[in-house]
Amino acid sequence: MDQRAPIDFLKVDQSSEWDQDNCPVRSVMAPISGKWSTLLLHALSERPYRFGELRRLVPDISQRMLTQTLRDLQRDGYVNRTVFPTKPPSVEYSMTPLGHSLFSRLYLVIEWSVQNHASVLEARQAFDEAETSA
Amino acid sequence: MDQRAPIDFLKVDQSSEWDQDNCPVRSVMAPISGKWSTLLLHALSERPYRFGELRRLVPDISQRMLTQTLRDLQRDGYVNRTVFPTKPPSVEYSMTPLGHSLFSRLYLVIEWSVQNHASVLEARQAFDEAETSA
DNA sequence: CGGCATCCTCGACGATACTG
DNA sequence: CAGTATCGTCGAGGATGCCG
């Protein structure tokens, strides 16, 4: 059904050289699996935003997590942070080419989740009802 | 750069009807953002596996998390669980069409992370060095 | 073999207050 | 405006032992 090249991170038992902390998939996926990463990547894929704009765009994020998530995204090279020496200072976050490259793939999953949300909810409900009746 | 349709989960402030707990993206993404979900989806996209096979395939997962993650994947309709009444009993996990549909998109992100791991590590290192020198 | 029950740790995340 | 610092909570995940 799927035609894909094999991936090393599953061949744990065969490869004695394998280091779980250096697995490319875990290394890349884990930092963008946070609660807010996808949300912020999606926003910045659209256009650059200032810190306060992002806060208003995602009202239920704490400023602590906004700062931290943006830092993580910047650290992995997905986002640029530009400080303008105005008074008071303003900071703009923009997506790098690497970020756009990643997001072009990630967006397909986002799109899928919107299109198939109903099917997932249906399966979830059926599962829960089967559990309850048991 | 990216040409995409707008997504509702970002228009929080404009839409007063919006319910954060019913956001399709968070609803679908959160359960598959766990530490082991991607790993198990990848394994099962290849072929059905039995419980013990999956344990050996992913040696550093606890059987508690293996059970729980498989349950979550089953609940959302990505995985089927089939019990064979042998002695002792054997259980086979297989991927549903919905699971294959999701994974065909998710795999593109996995593939990206393998291809671009070096770039991410490079950005990470540069960022950390800039922090240290500061 | 394929679980479930229990206890525990630790890090993600939130709330609040303060600062250049 | 755009953060940092501190404290507190809560749940993901791990370790161990028991069971049909």
Give rounded-to-5 percent helix, strand, coil for chain B: 60, 10, 30
Instruction: Give me the residue label for tokens 């997932």.
Output: A120
- Let me know how many helices (H) and strands (E) chain A has, helices first: 6, 3
| pLDDT single digits (tens) B19-39 | 556 789 999 999 999 999 999
Band (B67; pLDDT cuts 50, 70, 90) = very high
For residue A10, name the pLDDT band (cuts at 50, 70, 90).
Answer: low
CB proximity A45 to B under 8 Å = yes
As a whole number, the mean pLDDT across chain A is 88
CA distance B67 to B70: 5
* pLDDT value for A12: 44
Mutation pick from A37, A40, A111, A120 vs chain B, by most beta carbons of B within 10 Å, is A120
Put simply, the answer to whether A60 touches B12 (Cβ < 8 Å) is yes
Distance, C-alpha B54 to centroid of its chain:
16
> Of A1, A106, A119, which has the smallest distance from its Cβ to B109's Cβ?
A106
pLDDT given for residue B27 in this prediction = 94
Average per-residue pLDDT for chain B: 88
Q: Please report the pLDDT score of residue B15 as a whole number.
A: 46
Inform me whether the pLDDT recorded for B17 exceeds 90. Answer: no
Q: Dig out the tokens for B5 from the structure.
A: 């349709």
pLDDT at B84 over 50: yes
pLDDT at A15: 46
Q: How confident is the model at residue A17 (pLDDT cuts 50, 70, 90)?
A: very low
* pLDDT given for residue B45 in this prediction: 96
Tell how strand B49-50 and strand A79-84 pair up: unpaired
* Residues A81-109 pLDDT 10s: 999 998 899 999 999 999 999 999 999 99
Residues of chain A contacting residue B109, judged by C-beta atoms under 8 Å apart: 29, 102, 105-106, 109
Q: Which of residues 66-125 of B touch strand C (CB under 7 A)?
A: 67, 70-71, 81, 88-91
Q: Which of B4, B105, B120 sits opposite A77 (nearest CB)?
A: B120
Q: Does A58 touch chain B (CB under 8 A)?
A: yes
pLDDT score recorded for residue A131:
84
Q: What is the DSSP string of A58-96?
A: STTS-HHHHHHHHHHHHHTTSEEEEEE--SS-EEEEEE-
Considering only CB atoms, A10 lies closest to which of B43, B102, B120, namely B43
pLDDT attached to residue A20: 59
- Top mean pLDDT of A15-24, B3-12, B88-97 is at B88-97
Q: Express each pLDDT in A38-65 by its tens digit.
A: 999 999 999 999 999 999 999 899 999 9
Question: Given this model, what pLDDT does residue B30 score?
Answer: 96
Distance CA B120, CA A24 (A): 10
> What is the C-alpha separation between B126 and B121, in angstroms, rounded?
9
- pLDDT at residue number B9: 57
Give the contacts of B87 (CB within 8 A, at least 6 positions apart). none
Is the minimum distance from the CB of B52 to strand C below 7 Å? Answer: yes
